[in-house]
Structure formats: C-alpha cells, structure tokens
Structure 1
Amino acid sequence: MAPVVPATPAMAPGYDPSPWGDFFTGYEPQQQQKMSEQGMIVRADKLKEDTLKLFKTCNNMATRISLVDTLEHLGIDHHFEQEINEALIKILESEFSNTSLHEVALGFRLLREHGHWVSPDVFNKFKGEDGSFSKDITNDARGLLCLYNAAHLLIHDEPTLEEAKDFARHHLELMSGTICLPLDKQVKRTLHVPLPRTCKRIETLHYITEYSEDEAHNPMLLELAKLDFNLLQHVHLKELKTITEWWNNFSGNIGLSYIRSRIVESYTWAYVVYHEKDFKLPRSIIAKMIVIITTLDDTYDIQATIEECRKLHEAIQRWDEDAVSLLPEYLKNLYLELLRTFKDIEGQVPIDMDYDISYLKKSIQNHVTGYLQEAEWAHKNYNPSFKEQVDLTSLTIGAPTLSVSVVAGMNDAIMKRALEWAASVPNVVTSAGRIVRFMNDIGAFKRRKCKGDAASSVECYIHEHGVSGEVAIARIDALVEDEWKTLNQARFEDRALLPALQRIIGLAYTASFFYDNRNDVYTSSTHLQKIIESFFLKPI
C-alpha cells in the first residue's frame, strides 16, 4: 500500500524529500473489517469486560505475571491500568518464592519497569556456590530471554545484573538456530534491542502474529488486541490528516525550501511516545515542536549567517510581533508562524487543563540559545571539548522541549508539579537527551555534514582522544549504557511523577526507533515507509 509520491519542492543538498507529501490529507481507508467502526467499539468493550474477569481468576504469581506480560506485549495494557497495578502489588508481596527463572526474571522486569524496587538478590537462587550463574539454566532459552531483558533494568553499581546480562546473552547466542519458533524470533529481536528499550508498538505488531501461532493463546485477548490496534488506526489517521494540513499551512506561509519536510515522521515520533486514544493533545504538541525544532535547526545549520542567527535568537527571546523588524525578509514569516503556532496550541488546551504554555515558550527560547552557541562555535572555528559538546547538544537535540510537551498528557493531579519538574531539566531529561544525541551522532557519522554544523560527539571524541571512529563509537556506546542506568534509577525516586517519567523514558525509546543500525531514518525518512504503513495504513 505505497503512497503516491507527489512532486516536492527542492530540498537542501543531502536531504531527501519525505515520501508522504499530501498523502494523508486525502487518504480514505478501505473498509476491510467485517464490522463497522461502531460495531468494533461495541465488540471491544465487551472483550474488555471479559478480560477484567481474568484478573479475578488469577490466584498465583505465575498467572498474574503471565497475564500482565501478555497484555503489555499485545498493546492493550492501557485499558487495564488499575487492575495491572493491583496485580503488580500482589506479585511484589509474593517475595519471589518461585523457582522458575522465567517467572522470577519476568516478575522482576515488570515490577522494575513500573517503579517497584526489587533487589537483584532474587537471582541468587540461580547461582552456584562460586557465586556465578549456574550451568543448570544454560539450556533454558525462555528463562534466559527473560533474564536478559530483566537485567537491562539495572541501575549503577549492580554487578549481579551486569553479570546476568552478559551470561544470558552469551548462552542465547550459543543457542542461535536451535530455538523453536516463535521464541527464536523474540530472542533475535531482544539481542538486537532489549525489550525495556524497544518501541512498544513495533513489539506489539510482532507479538500479535506470534501470539496467534501459539496453541495456548487466549482467543479473547488476541481479538481485543487486533480490534484495539485497528480502532487506534482510525484515530491516528484523522490526526495525520489534521497535522498534515497544519504543516501545509505552516510550510506554505514560511516559504523556505531548505527545510526538511518531516511532518509524518514527526507525528510518528509523537506516536512512539503516546499511541493511546486519549492523548491527541500531547501528540499534536510533540509533533509540532519537532517540526519547529527541525525548521530552526535547518535554519541555523544551513541557511542563516552568524548575524542572522543572532538576530533570530534576539527576536525569539523578545517573543512579540514587533521583533519581526529585526529579521531579514526571508525569516520574517518563519518568526510570525512560530508565534502563531504557539497561540494555536494555547487555544487547543482545554480551559480546565492546568497546562501552562509559558513553560513551552521558555524551552524553545532556551533551545535557540543552544543553537546560537553551536553557530558561534562554527563561526569561530572553535573545537569544543567532548564534555562541552555533549553538555550543549544533549539539550539542542530537543529533550527539554519535548519533555515539557509530554507533560500535556498528565492528569491535573500532577500537571503543575510535573511541568515545573520537567522544565527544570532534571537528570532524566538530560539522560534521555544524551541517549538520543549519542545515537543520532553515531547514525549520522558517515553522512555528509551540512554547512555550519558543529562537530558531533563522535568527532569531538576522536579529536580529543586521538582514536579511530570505531573506538570512539564503542566508548560512546558505553556512555549510552550509563545513561540508561540513570533513567532506570529514576523509576524508584518519586512515584507521584512516575507517569511523567515513563513518557520521558519513551523519548529515549525513540532513539532505537529512529537511529537503529547506525542509521538516521528521521533524516533519511524513506527507510521508515514500511513501518509507517504498518502503524497507520495496514489493519490487522
């Protein structure tokens, strides 16, 4: 179901046009389901009621763990948040008396992901007298897979989980080619990107197919997962039409041919963080902020002289229409459109929602201050130290602005506090930014740099330490692991802010989505075409 590729204005050298163009503004999905949309909703509601009964019949740790894991893999856990939270409390209270590696490791991962502290000592029962993991579990593929995933919830200074990660990976790799399907597929995916770091919607697409092939699957859960995915597609298609129309107005009004056309990709970025039905507002804000960040990034990197960069920065700090007089003619409409976009967002926020857009404005103002610093470095031919480069560009990658954006999905009980917290750029925001920055820089390392680009973290490391690109990338990969530990640690620090934290961690998931395999598929977006079709155009 490939989209018709429209004629596209000339792009800056090195940037391909998006393959989507106006596709979603005129797309009407074909009716492929046996039921109407309303019929699907009625059927899904009935299946949700039946699923609730499963929680009441779970009378031991094994069945509770299996049910929660299945719901999360199938992507329907968002319908049962209260029931899952209650089940997790019971799992926590069980004290992991089970002797199954699969169940202990699975319970450990689920609890830590949901912000419940569990000591790695629960794995001591699977060690020998010498303190190393026992050979008795080396042939338990399912248990090792769960152990490997669980170990990626480690925090700093947890040698048991470091050992578990290496042990499980080693033995899973030795089993390669001998594991039965579909477990073999799951192992390969996990060894490539561990489950706690992967895009949940991609995993759902894989798992729905694999679950249907399992003779022990629950037909009710499978049907609900398919209906839910297809119903959400209807929601997302409507939003894609609206956001594409917004982009057409935005890009038409600013009239800049050098910027990347990435509205569908920007919406997909928001979708990775928020796919559930009731989060239209944060999806819209995130997508628009990514477009604005991309537009400003391309302006500072490609087009603007250093004096124009300074003037654009000054105008954005002033944030009033009179400041347009500071700008050269070609940037005036961009500036006015920026102000207009924020007014539109403010108008979209419900009156009874305590989302203060001034935090979002301030984050963009801080963002362009970072862009100006990068431009000044390039103008002066200044080679920043690795630390200077990372400290700055882990912010200009957009993490602070997007973290403030995701808070628009919080409930009123924590909205004000979450906004203040996210806007203060806590460690978790910095860590998420560094993960995305490092993976972006690694993915873009071999891509031709644009005019004005500051040196990347990879280049700064090479210059500072006198090593090869391969060595620099290996050492930066180790830094990525440290940042994940910081994010994992934050899960246990403030349960009240856990909903906001989980979405900010979702921003880190986008790194494995957009910069997997050392690629940058946001910039080279044709590589995303098939997965975007699977997300939005192909019903299950």
Structure 2
Amino acid sequence: MHCWYPPSIPRHSSSSLQHDVLQKFTNDNGDFNLRHSKDLRGLLSLHDMSHLNMGEASLYKANEFSSKHLKFALQYLEPNLARYVMKSLDHPYHVSLRQYKARHHLSYLQNLPTRHTAIEKLALAEFQMKKLQHQSEMQEIKRWWVDLGLSQEIPAARDQVLKWYMWSMTILEGFSFSRYRVEATKVISMVYIVDDIFDLVATQEELCLFNEAIKMWDLAAAESLPSYMISCYKALYTITNDIADMVRKEHGLNPINHLKQAWATLFDGFMIEGKWLSTNQVPTSEDYLRNGVITSGAPLLFMHLLFMLGHDLTDDNNDHILRVISCPAKIMRLWDDMGSAKDELQEGLDGSYKDLYQRENPHADAEKHMLDMIAGEWEDLNRECFSQTKSTLPPSFMGASLNFARMVSIMYGYDDEQKLPALEDYTRMLLF
C-alpha cells in the first residue's frame, strides 16, 4: 500500500473540478484504472468526493469503485488504520459532521508514533474551548428548562434537554452563534412537547381548541385551555416573540408573522395526523410523507434560524429556501421512519412511511427504496447548495441545512440493541 495521509476535498466542488479530479483515476473510456485500487489515500479522497453527487453517473461509479477496494483493503491494514478507514466508510466527509470527523482524525493522529505538530495542538486547544462554551450553553438551557416546569406539569412528555441541544450545537457552528444555539434549542424543545401533547395527552376536542388558539396568537385565546396547555402556549408564545424581538434589534427585520404562520402550519400538520388516527384512515405513503415533512418540525426550526441569521423571505428566494429546507426535513422523516426502533421515551402512534409503502408495494424492499430516496434528497440538497446558478443563500444558512442533514444519521442511528452508539460517541467527544 502507498503511504497514506488524511484525505481532503474542497467544500464547494463544482462539476468541472470533479471531472478534472476523476480524470486522474480513469482511462480514456471513463473506466477506473485498477492500478489505483491500492492507493489508499486516493481511494479515501475518491470515496469522499463521490458524496458530492448532484446526479452525475461518474460519481456513482466512483463510489462503487472506492467502496469496493477500501473494504477489500481492510483485511490487510494495521488495526489503528483499519478502524480509521472503516470510520471513513461509515461516515464520508461531506455527509458527516465536520467537528466529529476532525475529532476522530485527531484521535487517529494522537495514536501515531510521531510528534504532534503545532497545528494539531492548536486544533485540540480549539476543541477544548468549544467544549467549554457548549457546556456553558447546556447549563443555561437546563436552568431555563427546570424553571419552565413543563416536565413536571406534563409528565408524559419527553424530557431530553441534552438531545435537543445536540441538534442546535450541530446545526450552528462557531463561537458567534452561542445566543442562537440557546434560542434554537428552546424552539426544538417546544416542537417535541407539542408533538407529545398531540400524541399522548390531549383529547381531540382539546387539540382543536389548542389549534385555534395558536392561529389567534393571543395569550387571551389560551384562557379556555387546560392548565398544562396554557403553560405550553405561554412558553411557545414567549420564546417566539423573544426571538422576533432579538431579530428586530439585531437585523432590523420583523419576522413575527412568518413565525406565527410556521407554528400554525405545524399544528395543522399534527391535526391531520390526529384525524388519520382517530378515524382509522390510512393515508397514501405520499400524503403521509408530505405531511410528515411538516410535522418533523424541521421547516419551523429553519424559519426561526433564517431570521436569526439575519436573512429574510423574498419573492426571489422563497422557492429556493423552501427547497433547501425540504431536503433535510425529508431526510429526517425517512431516517426516523426507516427503523423499527422508537424513541425510548415516546409511545405515540405517528405512523410510518415504511409501513405505508410496504402496504402499497408488498413485494418491494421498502428500506432500500427509502435509502434511495435519502440519497436522492442529498443530491437535491447538494444541487441547491453548490450549484452556481441556484445558490443565492448565504453560507451560514446553507451550512445549517447541511449540518442538520448530517446530524440525522447520528440522531437516528439505532443499533441492534436500540441504542445510539454514534450519538453517544459524538456527545462524549464534543461535549463531555
């Protein structure tokens, strides 16, 4: 095997650049040269680059070629390097969290019998600084959550502050986004609580009143609700208005109408799910998925993030923003529905795209179909984020969308024991 060094790929690879790189691996007929099958560094770079696919046939071939020969090479590598290659196969660069990949790479370098460079030491110091900041943010959120008291008032609802913060910590990278990570976690927590109220706690009559009150967006409208709903409504109302005030002061925008509409759309989505369940109505897999994208909560979260990051919705960017939001939301819904494992503290009956698709196509491989759909959404997301003719959004928002999609496989990567080993590893390395 050739001498190996960590692979790197450009963040914004264009089709022309990909073509230039691939020419180094292929012959005149476009087939991959077998003489490259032992170039470990090249194979790792090729495998990483193949996940920047926007639908190019050459990158499908690149993925197949690199995966095949990297898996074959595993049996001949020393254990430390074999673990690194396996981790690279399981978590390719572009579809994985950069902090997570970087931390694993540093761990690999620390195990090498060489002196650590100044850059490696600086990287480790930066990780430690980020860890301290994230721990401080986590403590602030815990205090807010305890003071809010919803976990005591609604015992059936989930109480997973750490898990909710991991979403925000992942989506928004950088020291300057600390305030936004805290506020985003509050939004995420309310999505989970409202979901559980709809699934586990309220009657259909109470939910109708709850839904009407959200559309009115007035604390007085909540007075007729049960006490636990009033508490939830007040918390949701306060969080959203606080974020709108922050956006107005920092960016000169007033997003409250967009944010109110986003909450109303989420509640309508939950009402549709409830109607299906209460009337024993079986939706088509397409109708379920269309509504499931909304009830994932991702579109609502991204609407808050869009304004917190200082951007606005316009006639020119509206369709583009909706597509950038839709891709990671659909990836999340499909991943969540693909496995039989459920959230360990959630007993609701939300339905499942996998079950519905299997019902409609009894002889099909539903899981393969869903993995193909996820791959297709990644291609669409790459196209929206990296195509020079489409990409008009700022890097901060596109980066948040990509990071959300990258986090999905970590957050829903259950093993055979219905545990989340990747999430536990990620949390341990970057927070504790």
Is 1:360 matched up with 2:255?
A: no
- Within-5 A mapping of 1:123-142: 123-142=22-41
Gaps of 5+ in 1: 1-99
**2:374 equivalent to 1:476:** no
Residues 37-436 of structure 1 aligned to structure 2 (within 5 Å): 109-110=9-10, 113-114=11-12, 116-122=14-20, 123-156=22-55, 158-180=56-78, 182-214=80-112, 219-252=117-150, 255-349=153-247, 351-358=249-256, 359-408=258-307, 410=309, 412=310, 415-416=311-312, 421=317, 426-436=322-332
Rounded to whole Å, the distance in 2 between the matches of 1:352 and 1:332 is 30
**Aligned equivalents of 1:285, 1:398: Cα separation in 2:** 15
Q: CA deviation at 1:504?
A: 0.9
Q: What residue identity is the alignment partner of 1:368? A: F
Shift, 1:485, TM fit: 0.3
Structure 2 letter corresponding to 1:200: R
State the shift of 1:177 in Å: 2.3
Contact 2:50/2:62 (8 A) holds in 1: yes
Equivalenced residues, count: 426
The structural deviation recorded for 1:400 is: 0.8
The offset of 1:356, in angstroms, is 3.4
Helix, strand or coil for the counterpart of 1:487?
A: helix
Shift in CA distance, 352/433, structure 1 to aligned 2, threshold 3 Å: closer
> Against the structure 1 CA distance between its residues 421 and 299, is the aligned structure 2 distance closer, same or farther, given a 3 Å change threshold?
farther
**Local SS of the residue matching 1:197:** coil
Please state how far the C-alpha of 1:530 moved relative to its aligned partner: 5.3
Alignment deviations for residues 213-234 of structure 1 (CA, whole Å, 9 cap, x no partner):
4567762211111111111222
C-alpha distance in 1 between matches for 2:252 and 2:115: 43
In the superposition, relative to structure 1, how do residues 253 and 368 fare at CA in structure 2: closer, same or farther (>3 Å)? same
Contact 2:332–2:408 (CA under 8 A) maintained in structure 1: yes
Alignment-derived partner of residue 486 in structure 1: 380
Contact 1:432 1:483 in 2 (8 A): yes
Deviations 1:27-72 (A, max 9, x none): xxxxxxxxxxxxxxxxxxxxxxxxxxxxxxxxxxxxxxxxxxxxxx
Give the conservation status (yes or no) of the 8 Å contact 1:240–1:267. Answer: yes
Question: Could you give the per-residue CA deviations for residues 376-414 of structure 1, whole angstroms, max 9, x where no partner exists?
Answer: 11111111111111111012111211212333563x5xx
Query: What is the distance in 2 between the residues matched to 1:486 and 1:384?
Result: 26
C-alpha offsets along residues 120-166 of structure 1, whole Å, 9 cap, x if unaligned? 4221342234431011101111101110110010012x111001100
Q: Secondary structure at the match of 1:382?
A: coil
Determine what percentage of the aligned residue pairs are the same residue. 21
The Cα of 1:313 is off from its aligned counterpart by 0.8
Which residue number corresponds to residue 507 of structure 1? 404
Q: Per the alignment, in what secondary structure is the counterpart of residue 292 of structure 1?
A: helix
1:461 corresponds, among 357, 362, 382, to 357
How far apart, in 2, do the equivalents of 1:335 and 1:454 lie?
22
**Residues 312 and 406 of structure 1, relative CA distance in 2, 3 Å threshold:** same
Structure 2 residue runs of 5 or longer lacking an equivalent are none
Residue of structure 2 equivalent to 1:23: none
State the 1:205 CA deviation: 1.9
Amino acid at match of 1:392: N
Q: Note the C-alpha offset of 1:329.
A: 3.5
Deviates more, 1:314-323 or 1:496-505: 496-505
TM value normalised by structure 2: 0.89
Alpha-carbon distance in 2 for matches of 1:317, 1:520? 42
CA shift in 2, pair 1:288/1:484, >3 Å: same
The residue type paired with residue 486 of structure 1 is: D
Letter in 2 for 1:458: K
Give the conservation status (yes or no) of the 8 Å contact 1:514–1:520.
Answer: no
Q: Please tell me the residue identity of whatever aligns with 1:388.
A: D
- Cα RMSD between the aligned structures? 3.1
Distance across 2 between alignment mates of 1:389 and 1:447: 20
Deviates more, 1:420-429 or 1:339-348: 420-429
Hey, what's the Cα distance between the residues in 1 that align with 2:407 and 2:427?
A: 14
Task: Kindly provide the amino acid, as one letter, of the partner of residue 472 in structure 1.
Answer: A
